[in-house]
Amino acid sequence: MTSETQESTSPLAILIIDDEENMRHMLGSLLKRDGYAVETAADGQEGLARLAATAFDFVLCDIKMPNMDGMAFLRAVKPQAENLTIIMMSAYGTIDLAVEAMKLGAYDFISKPFKSDEVRMAIEKALERDRLKRENRLLREQIRRFEERHQFGSLVAKSEAMKKVFELAIKVAQYNTTVLIEGESGTGKELVAQAIHNAGPRQSKPLVPVNCGAIPEALLESELFGHVKGAFTGADRNKKGLFEEAHGGTIFLDEIGELPISLQVKLLRVLQEGEIRPVGQSGSIKVDVRVMAATSRKLEQMVAAGSFREDLYYRLNVIRVELPPLRGRTEDIPLLCHHILDHFNQSLQRKVKGIAPAAMALLLQHSWPGNVRELENAIERAMVLADADLLQADHFSLSAPTGAQRPPAQGGYEGFSIKNAQKIMEKELIIKALKATDANRTQAARLLEISHPSLLSKMKAYEIDM
């Protein structure tokens, strides 16, 4: 195919391949009158020679010819003519022959004898197809360039607040410095950790994520540091810990504020000495692990309250990356919506083109207490409900804005124990989520914003059978 610049300044070039001289002359005269530059060839071999010497936009090729017929020509030209539009012609046309020609790369098939308007229409259709292909290529290139300017790993944003996050994260990625990522739930802390790891020298090594709040306290030490056979009841074999699995790479400690004090001391030793001690083992093991941690809690307040070690806090807080809530960067919402739509179009096998202006206005006004995760859930739900290729306002069902008063719980807890009250509320929320999702545990875990294993563990503890 000629370039777009050539196309705009010179006529489109067409090669006619036909063994009948009268047909070559008739088609040549017709297409020259229409403003095309025309060359001809008497068979497939001559056609290949013409293509090797000159760039053409279209080829009109007969099928039944001596020396090299049209089908052999198609097979020969296919590898080097990805952008060449070929229209086949034949007086012996059948549906099977046309299908075979299309499989070999032909764009269209015309049966002889044909009227001049049929040839013109076939070329005009091909021109429109090529115009749309060029526009799509340009659009994809524009989107790629745009996303390169506004993307870091799987994160997309254009707000000044997130640009600063990207700039800091890119700098930090090149070093083994410990990173503390802070932000509300749903802001994308794990995505930042993934992007930092993938942009740094450890990218070929494992990134091991650990949710400190999802693993039962009794098992957490063994999960992190491993254990030897016989260390405790049920330890029937040696087991590598997650730190050892992350050797040479990165470990991401999500919700580090949930780590018990007893394990905070042991984590501090890892950071200071670069070694771990599996449960039940007398000696230590050296590990080369970069540590990144994240929290939605205020660690300074926890330090002041005595629930988080001050020395560990300062060890973790070498570089702090603070993620702003979505309500503080509403200019990112349209860009995020485009990115999320692309993701769910693939995973849900949909072809939703966008979000209607009224619906986008609704999204921009919402306070997003669940941040980007809530936005993802809202768009996924809307795409499931929508039949059309444009999401409308009534496809979205958003929760009450932050600060709205909630009605008091029915049959509220009468005692004073915060722990007992928390358990009762937790059980009620789990049952509510399971009912709302028709007992779909994966969906319920998403609503509760906990991991699927954590939900199963809590269901077992609270004896919930749904």
Q: Which domains can be identified in the chain, with CATH numbers?
A: 4-144 (3.40.50.2300), 153-324 (3.40.50.300), 327-395 (1.10.8.60), 418-461 (1.10.10)
Predicted pLDDT of residue 143: 56
Is the pLDDT score of 336 beyond 90? yes
Average pLDDT value for residue range 163-168? 89
Task: Give the count of beta carbons closer than 10 Å to the beta carbon of residue 6.
Answer: 14
With bands split at pLDDT 50, 70 and 90, how would you rate the model's confidence at 8? very low
Predicted pLDDT of residue 208: 96
Please report, rounded to a whole number, the percentage of residues in the chain having pLDDT higher than 70. Answer: 89
Q: Which pair of tokens denotes residue 371? A: 């941040």
Predicted pLDDT of residue 223: 92
How far is Cα 63 from Cα 101, in angstroms, rounded to an integer? 9
Average pLDDT value for residue range 123-132? 85
Is the pLDDT score of 294 beyond 60? yes
Burial class for 80, CB neighbours closer than 10 Å (0-12, 13-18, 19+)? exposed
Average pLDDT value for residue range 178-186? 95
Helix (H) or strand (E) holding 54: none
DSSP letter, residue 330: G
Is the pLDDT score of 406 beyond 60? no
Q: Which pair of tokens denotes residue 372? A: 């980007």
120, 34 contact by CB (below 8 A): yes
Predicted pLDDT of residue 411: 44
239, 222 contact by CB (below 8 A): yes
List C-alpha distances in Å: 198 to 168, 179, 250, 416. 15, 14, 10, 48
Average pLDDT value for residue range 390-403? 74
Is the pLDDT score of 75 beyond 80? yes
Burial class for 378, CB neighbours closer than 10 Å (0-12, 13-18, 19+)? buried
Predicted pLDDT of residue 81: 63
Tens digit of each residue's pLDDT (9 = 90 or more) over 187-235:
999 999 999 999 899 999 999 999 998 888 888 999 999 999 888 888 8
Is the pLDDT score of 407 beyond 60? no
Beta strand ranges found along 277-377 (DSSP E): 285-286, 290-295, 319-322, 354-355
Average pLDDT value for residue range 287-315? 94
Predicted pLDDT of residue 390: 92
Average pLDDT value for residue range 350-359? 90
In which residue are the tokens 């088609």 written? Answer: 27
Q: Does the reported pTM lie above 0.75?
A: no
Helix (H) or strand (E) holding 134: helix 116-149
Distance, CA of 434 to chain centre: 28
Q: Helix %, strand %, coil % for the chain, to 5?
A: 50, 15, 35
More confident residue, 464 or 405: 464
Predicted pLDDT of residue 435: 77
Round the average pLDDT of the chain to a whole number and report it: 85
Predicted pLDDT of residue 185: 92
Average pLDDT value for residue range 321-336? 92
Q: What's the number of CA atoms in the CB half-sphere (13 Å) around residue 67? A: 13
List C-alpha distances in Å: 14 to 30, 46, 67, 90. 12, 14, 22, 18
Predicted pLDDT of residue 190: 94
Predicted pLDDT of residue 368: 93
Tens digit of each residue's pLDDT (9 = 90 or more) over 81-120:
667 889 988 887 678 888 888 888 888 888 888 888 888 8
